Structure 1
Amino acid sequence: MKTVAIIDYGMGNLHSAKKAVEHVAPDTTVLVTDNAEKIREADRVILPGVGAIRDCMAEMQRLGVVELVREVSKDRPFLGICVGMQALMSRSEENRGVDCIGLFPSQVRYFGDHLTENGERLKVPHMGWNQVYQSIDHPLWHNIPEGDRFYFVHSFYAEAEGNADMAGRTHYGVDVAAAVARDNIFAVQFHPEKSARAGLQLLKNFTDWTGKCL
């Protein structure tokens, strides 16, 4: 039986993610755990995250999760969600600047206090459903139509411009990297566990993914 470990460092929609994965893969054991050995033994790993990146990184440093993520993300399917995606970048502007795990070179930027589109002011955080356009052909996009909608809640975003690792983009005043991918790592800014059919399909694809790109 396959095992998916959802890393519990106290920051994230842990149980909603667990229920969503169990729903799409009933033959899979899904663990919400902070036990490093159980995470190392898992076939697949998910790094969730909500809240301020400073707090997330502080807890991950305190609990040894940063080095654990660097270790387990090398050799099995690995999925980052929301702040879990931002944590994989090199640095975030949030909280006056926070160094992140650095698996991807991108910077995390603030939308700004005066974000506009066509002369209209946009609310920050970006909260709600938005279309995602696939930048690459990837197994995690299987059976997800181009431009399908996912649910977002965030005030900071990974840059899209010049982002060689971008797997999907959305637009909210600026182009945003909605997903990034490299080798066996895939990470999304949106919440698949809250994104209805499209989100459940992405999680299903993750549970079936071998970690190899096309």
Structure 2
Amino acid sequence: MRFPVSAAGLLLAVSAVHAADISVVGLFPNKAVLVVDGGAPKTYSVGATITEGIRLVSASESSATIETNGKRQAIAIGDHVSRSGASNGRVSVTLQADGRGHFVVPGQINGGTVRMLLDTGATMVAIPASDATRLGIDYRKGRVTYLNTANGAVPAYAVKLNTVKVGDIELNQVDAVVQEQGLPFILLGMTFLNRTEMHRDGEQMVLTKRF
């Protein structure tokens, strides 16, 4: 399992009934400052309609939650996710690489907001113990296993995640491991990615949910 260093300097882009690019440039309790389709920054209060099909449903100092056609996603300032429904009706997500060429994406695990590094070299979704505790995962009940890393074999706990969500792609019962050492951030590994089709085009990666 490899642990590449990443830097996140991302914006949020969402596709609704009519496509819209939304950048989060400021967050306050119950308010968010957004840039829509490259326009001037505008402050939106919770409950406000941002554009057709997109509504701000909550905001705090750390994240904003938008609702697109009944589906919600929590996002942190500076995050970027492009969401769209493919023409064949399959759900897809377009991810934008950061300055290092890595894909750091906001998402949800068991309903809790997370940031994950897409890593095709990770056989499973891998979670640091601190994040697992924050998400309410009782990982110590999981089966103990050992993972081979650059620092040698490290112990880990095998767990089953109820849900993992990136954009509009939500998968149930995803196998994962929790590590108490040697893992600085969550890795979006192949137990999630294998259930999608991946297509990279330059600085963009499109994930399409398999059925």
Normalised to the residue count of structure 1, the TM-score between the two structures is 0.27
Normalised to the residue count of structure 2, the TM-score between the two structures is 0.27
Q: Which has the higher helix share?
A: 1
